[in-house]
Amino acid sequence: MITDPPYYDNVLYSELSDFFYVWQKIVLEDEYDCFSSDKTSRSEIVANPAQDKGVEEFEAELREAFEVVHKALKEDGVLTFTYHHSDSESWGELLEALCDSGFVVTATYPVTADLQKLTKGEAVSFDIIVVARPAIEREPISWTSLRRNIVRTAGVTREQLEAERDLSAGDIGVVEMGECFAEYSNHHGEVRRDGETMSAKEVVDEIYGIIQEESDLGEIDVFLDLLEEWKPTYNDLNKLCRGTNATPDGLKEMRLFFMDGNDLILGTWDNQKRQAYIQDKVSDEDRDLNNLDKAQYLRYLFEEGKSSTKYLERWETDDLEELCEGLAEATGDETYLKMLGVDTSLPEYTTE
């Protein structure tokens, strides 16, 4: 199915068409009943304050339209549509409605080449073709993990396009954005952050920031990726560092891995060398402690049955909880959440 949904508040079609309608009415009202009204119908999906229709109405009506399309499509059917808007909120509304209706984004394509550059501080404005298919099943994921996936997806996409195609920064940004939307849509309604489920609008805001600022991954991100490997090797470490701000030397300096012959040993919370490195920082008035240092030290205190109250009072932040969610997901160990006092029986922390 191919369609062209309304662009949020960009084009108020019914009001614009009144200009032509009044002249058509003079000529055609005697022959066609549809010209009996003085104005065109206002029953369009649009955000228009003059009609008391805002964000909620636009999203609800667009979702209803997508649901009808979803019912009409076969299991292997394809929905393709164009969309244009420079506002992240409107893209969030669109993605929310589309994914809520049971679709997953599978591809996106820029329509024009005359685009504003997608760089920090500039507005994002583009026409885009969105290809979507019925979703099968969506997997739960923490924002920490999804963010790593999105940053890698954007980076790989950017590198490939810059090497293979002569495209403007805006065109490249469009393709990056589409790939990131597709990455998110596989987990819509299942993205956890600080104990809450993120909406599509929140994720789109984050994606905009990642692409506009060309965000990159660091040593902690690579360490989390290594935790997800069954038996990570130095070769895995090298591959994961490519295209990031992280280096093997940087991870080694942070005591995040050690070599035992040809074997790579990760600097987990229970690794003596890693823990000694952290405790040395803690004893020096929290010198240069990052959130991973804090999380692993809190885990040590928790396992030793020691009080962590004074440290939690100093350290407990949303960023720390977010990292602990990522650690719990990467290791399959909810202790990283329990040590913060998080109730892991809540729906946000279960996969049922």
Cα gap 344→78, rounded to integer Å:
38
Q: Is the pLDDT of residue 226 over 50?
A: yes
Question: Under a CB-based contact definition with an 8 Å cutoff, are residues 189 and 107 in contact?
Answer: no
Split at pLDDT 50, 70, 90, the class of 110 is: confident
Instruction: Report angle CA 342, 345, 347 to the nearest 5 degrees.
Output: 100
CA atoms within 13 A on the CB side of 23: 3
Q: Which residues pair with 196 in a beta bridge?
A: 193
What pLDDT sits at residue 43? Answer: 67
Cα gap 118→92, rounded to integer Å:
18
Averaged over 183-205, what is the pLDDT? 92
Under the phi-then-psi rule, with left for phi > 0, alpha for psi from -120 to 50, and beta for the rest, what region is 194? left
In 3D space, the residue among 263, 68, 253, 98 whose CA is nearest the CA of residue 181 turns out to be 98
Span 94-107, pLDDT tens digits: 899 999 999 999 98
**3-state SS class at 196:** strand
Angle of helix 200-212 relative to helix 169-185, nearest 10 degrees, comes to 150
Q: For residues 42 and 330, which has the higher predicted lDDT (pLDDT)? A: 330
What pLDDT sits at residue 278? Answer: 96
What pLDDT sits at residue 271? Answer: 96
Lowest mean pLDDT among 61-65, 142-146, 214-218: 214-218
Q: Is the pLDDT of residue 133 over 60?
A: yes
- Cα distances from 196 to residues 10, 278, 336, in angstroms, run 32, 30, 16
Span 161-173, pLDDT tens digits: 888 877 777 778 7
High-pLDDT (> 70) share of the chain, %? 84
Split at pLDDT 50, 70, 90, the class of 86 is: low
Split at pLDDT 50, 70, 90, the class of 19 is: confident
Span 33-64, pLDDT tens digits: 888 888 776 666 766 666 666 677 777 888 89
- Across the chain, what does the average pLDDT equal? 84
Cα gap 189→2, rounded to integer Å:
26
- Cα distances from 250 to residues 223, 238, 253, 297, in angstroms, run 11, 12, 5, 20
Split at pLDDT 50, 70, 90, the class of 261 is: very high
What pLDDT sits at residue 49? Answer: 66
Q: Which residues pair with 129 in a beta bridge?
A: 82, 109
